[in-house]
């Protein structure tokens, strides 16, 4: 048993902490904000490898997370549900490698119809936090500005702080992709849809129990976390064109967040430190989708 400090309390950081504690390590989590205030809380959180390079490792981690979420969907307290929907495909060369991770999918003239996990982030992040705490892992709100302040007090460190990981590890490959959503009252929808190549802009409709998450945007390099009314109006035009039932539904809330993107997802040991340091970040818009798979990869690295 070793002591491991996980930096970051979003969906990736908490998943890593859960896997490490489950493997017998003594774990603590340090983060500058709680999970419910992280970019994870903004996500529509439909299982899908969005805004991330779809390497073989990414698809493998997606498959691991798919299976874990499917198991969690048996417990209503987790906020995880299996929902059917459509990934619209508009290009003949579209990358469909992700379908390898989905047991039951059907390729149609419109795209790919499949059943995937839908994660209600407000419920799920609270459940995951409580599950980590129940393992005896403390979660402390603390801004880490240097690994040198942490390493003397722990056997190993896992940097899983999303976009904040760049400063801690001097990684200039990390950049934000701004995402904006608007949440409407749900008129009774259950099926979700995504349309990444919509000529008018990225479009998705994700019905949850009490609302419908509508998006979106993918503004590379934009650090603005304040919702833009003009962008919201454009989102509403696109989603209502695809799903007329959303016409007239009231706006319940709105949000914007920064997807922590990178040229490739970074899951590895980082050399050059006085103690073992591991990276787990750069997930773009696929943090939830890759969470359990990459957490398992980190747990394997820590003991190797």
Residue 304's pLDDT is what? 66
Give yes or no: residues 12 and 142 share one domain: yes
Full-model pTM: 0.94
Two tokens, residue 194: 């995504």
Residue 80's pLDDT is what? 97
Domain extent, residue 42, equals 3-83+117-173+263-303
Give yes or no: residues 159 and 183 share one domain: no
**Are residues 111 and 89 in contact, defined by beta-carbon separation less than 8 angstroms?**
yes
Give yes or no: residues 225 and 179 share one domain: yes
Residue 1's pLDDT is what? 60
Give yes or no: residues 291 and 255 share one domain: no
What is the spatial distance between Cα 13 and Cα 31, in angstroms, rounded to a whole number? Answer: 9
| H or E element, residue 166 | helix 165-169
Give yes or no: residues 284 and 146 share one domain: yes
Domain boundary residue among 261, 276, 293?
261
Pairing of strands 111-119, 80-88: antiparallel
Give the phi and the psi of residue 251 in degrees, each rounded to 5: -80, 125
Residue 11's pLDDT is what? 95
Q: Where are the beta strands (DSSP E) in 208-270?
A: 211-215, 219-220, 251-261, 266-269
Q: Half-sphere exposure of 147 toward its Cβ, with a 13 Å CA cutoff?
A: 27
Pairing of strands 175-185, 251-261: antiparallel
Give yes or no: residues 49 and 73 share one domain: yes
92 within domain boundaries: no
CATH code assigned at 32: 3.40.50.720
Residue 242's nearest CA partner among 278, 274, 216 is: 216
What is the spatial distance between Cα 255 and Cα 263, in angstroms, rounded to a whole number? Answer: 25
What is the spatial distance between Cα 195 and Cα 189, in angstroms, rounded to a whole number? Answer: 17
Give yes or no: residues 128 and 35 share one domain: yes
For the chain, which residues score pLDDT lower than 70? 1, 304
Pairing of strands 175-185, 156-159: unpaired
125 within domain boundaries: yes
């Amino acid at each position: 048993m070793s002591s491991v400090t996980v930096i970051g309390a979003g969906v990736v950081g908490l998943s890593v902490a859960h896997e490490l504690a489950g493997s017998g390590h003594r774990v603590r989590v340090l983060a500058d904000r709680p999970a419910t205030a992280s970019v994870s809380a903004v996500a529509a959180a439909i299982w899908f490898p969005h805004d991330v390079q779809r390497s073989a490792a990414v698809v493998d981690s997606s498959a691991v997370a798919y299976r874990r979420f499917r198991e969690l969907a048996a417990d209503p307290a987790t906020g995880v549900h299996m929902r059917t929907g459509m990934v619209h495909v508009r290009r003949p060369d579209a990358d469909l490698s992700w379908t390898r991770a989905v047991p039951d999918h059907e390729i149609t003239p419109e795209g790919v119809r499949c059943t995937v996990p839908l994660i209600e982030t407000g419920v799920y992040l609270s459940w995951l936090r409580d599950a980590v705490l129940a393992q005896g892992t403390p979660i402390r709100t603390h801004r880490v500005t240097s690994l040198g302040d942490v390493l003397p007090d722990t056997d190993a460190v896992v940097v899983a702080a999303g976009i904040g990981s760049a400063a801690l590890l001097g990684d200039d490959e990390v950049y934000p992709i701004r995402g904006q959503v608007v949440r409407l009252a749900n008129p009774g929808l259950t099926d979700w849809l995504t349309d990444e190549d919509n000529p008018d802009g990225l479009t998705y409709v994700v019905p949850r129990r009490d609302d419908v998450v509508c998006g979106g945007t993918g503004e590379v390099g934009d650090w603005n976390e304040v919702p833009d009314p003009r962008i919201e109006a454009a989102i509403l035009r696109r989603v209502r064109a695809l799903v007329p039932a959303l016409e007239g539904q009231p706006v319940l809330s709105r949000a914007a967040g920064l997807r922590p993107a990178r040229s490739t997802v970074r899951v590895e040991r980082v050399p050059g430190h006085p103690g073992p340091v591991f990276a787990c970040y750069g997930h773009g818009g696929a943090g939830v989708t890759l969470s359990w798979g990459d957490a398992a990869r980190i747990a394997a690295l820590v003991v190797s």
